[in-house]
Amino acid sequence: MQLPKSLALSLYRTMVELREFELKAYEVFRSGKMPGFIHLYVGEEAVAAGVMAHLKKQDYVTSTHRGHGHALAKGIPAREVMAELMGVVGGCCGGRGGSMHLYEPAVGFLGTNGVVAPGIPIAAGAALSAKLRKSGQVAVCFFGDGAVNNGAFHEGINMAAAWDLPVVYVCENNMYATETPFAKATKNTNVASRAAAYNIPGVQIDGDDVMIVYEKAGEAIERARRGEGPTLIECLTYRFFGHHVGDPGTTYRSRDEIESWKARDPIVRLRRQALEEKLAGPNEFDEINEQVHAMIEDATTFALSSPQPAVETALNFVLT
């Protein structure tokens, strides 16, 4: 696919933001200042960037435990995401949710999630609501290879297909469910092929090539908007870190394997391709890097200076 310059730079900026954010979150977590657990999106940025570039503010997204990148790419400001990871009032959920419970209805973001697979029927439900309201909205559901062996995958996609719901299912297949290799968890490691079971289109793509993700996601989202139902997109990708910060990720993955996937780094690939095609000069990419770096520094300063919520609020919002 031929790269338009503005699109290339825009996708690059998104991917760098997601990368910089995670590397900073890693640093803060390792310093001991961040509570809880975090799962880094590093290495998988092309998926969120390529898909989300097609979505409107009011479109819906459901996400996973590895969801900071989805939240940022859908439009939650980095300040609010970093603050939420810190459990402070400046967070998008006032610090009540944390990394695995990021919500922002203003941009249609229906949650990262601490449980694997419930986002699949939840996204179908948001899509059903949109269909009944004739709002033109679509829903995109992100999930990992771990989710496809859970019953909610079958129940959710089956219903979405039966009812031609405007939803796109995006599997980020990083080949490991926590530490269990996908090949040990299933006889059929081709996620896209499972689409046939629901009589919907399924496509397996290089999830580290942002332009391919952009192209295939665009087709699926347009199909959903036309009312023709769901598509299953399997993006082959890899997480450069372990499952969570604290897991080195090397007890069940070889160093050779990790290095081979790092050589496919989606950010490096896009930059190299754009430079080869002389779409932009190195200075334009460097400028984006500097801008994003400053923005993430600002977000971190904001998050580290925001207070935790007052205990008097602990029982707020249990019931309306």
Partner 1 sequence: MAQTKIAEASANQAQPPERTISYVEAGVEALREEMQRDPTIFYIGQGIGPRGGNWQQTRGLCAEFGEERLRDTPISEVGQVGVGIGAAMAGSRPIVDIVFMDFMLETCGILIQQASTTYYVSNGKIKVPLLVRAAMGGVRSSGPHHSHTLYNFFVHIPGLEVVVPATPNDVKGLLKTAIRNDNPVLFLEHKGLYGTKGAVPAEEYLIPFGKAVVRRSGSDVTLVAVSLMVSRALEAAETLAKSGISVEVIDPRTVAPLDRGAILNSVAKTGRLAIVDEAYAACGFSAEVAALVAEEALDELDAPVRRICALPAPHAFSPSLDGHLRPTADKIVSAVSEMMKR
In the complex, which residues of this chain contact partner 1 (CB under 8 A)? 60, 62, 93-94, 96-97, 101, 103-105, 110-111, 113-115, 118, 120-130, 132-133, 137, 139, 151-152, 154-156, 158-159, 162-163, 316-320
**For partner 1, the closer CB: 127 or 296:** 127
Q: Please answer whether residues 130 and 60 qualify as being in contact, where contact means their C-beta atoms are separated by less than 8 angstroms.
A: yes
Nearer to partner 1, 260 or 313 (CB): 313
In angstroms, rounded to a whole number, what is the distance separating the alpha carbons of residues 191 and 274?
31
Residue 213, phi then psi, degrees to nearest 5: -60, -45
| Closest to 97 in 3D by CA, of 18, 105, 199 | 105
User: Least separation, in Å, of the C-beta of 135 and partner 1?
Assistant: 9
Q: Nearest distance from residue 156's CB to partner 1, in Å?
A: 5
For the bound state, the minimum distance from the C-beta of residue 274 to partner 1, rounded and expressed in Å, comes to 37
Cα–Cα distance between 308 and 167 in angstroms, integer? 36
Q: What is the CA radius of gyration of the chain?
A: 19
Q: Which amino acid is at 214?
A: Y
From the list 187, 183, 203, the residue with the least C-alpha distance to 195 is: 203
Least distance to partner 1 from the beta carbon of 300, Å?
A: 21
CB-based contacts of 200, cutoff 8 Å, min separation 6: 157, 161, 229, 230, 231, 232
Q: What is the smallest separation between the CB atom of 309 and partner 1, expressed in angstroms?
A: 9
By CB atoms closer than 10 A (0-12, 13-18, 19+), residue 284 is: middle
Residue of 209, 204, 198, 199 whose CA lies nearest to 233: 204
Residue 178, class by beta-carbon neighbours within 10 Å (0-12 exposed, 13-18 middle, 19+ buried)? middle
Residue 196, beta-bridge partner list: none
Question: Residue 115 or residue 196: which is nearer to partner 1 going by CB?
Answer: 115
Rounded to an integer, what distance in angstroms lies between the CA atom of residue 281 and that of residue 241? 30
Determine which helix (DSSP H) or strand (DSSP E) holds 28, and give its type and residue range.
Answer: helix 5-30
Residue nearer to partner 1 on the CB measure, 43 or 91: 91
Q: Which is nearer to partner 1, 129 or 149 (CB)?
A: 129
Which residue's CB is nearer to partner 1, number 114 or number 181? 114
Minimum CB separation of residue 240 from partner 1 in Å reads 29
Q: Which is nearer to partner 1, 67 or 111 (CB)?
A: 111
3 state SS of 173: strand
> Closest CB to partner 1 among 1 and 318?
318
In the complex, minimum distance from the CB of residue 134 to partner 1, in angstroms, rounded to a whole number:
11
* Closest CB 132 distance from partner 1, rounded Å: 6
State whether residue 169 is helix, strand or coil: strand
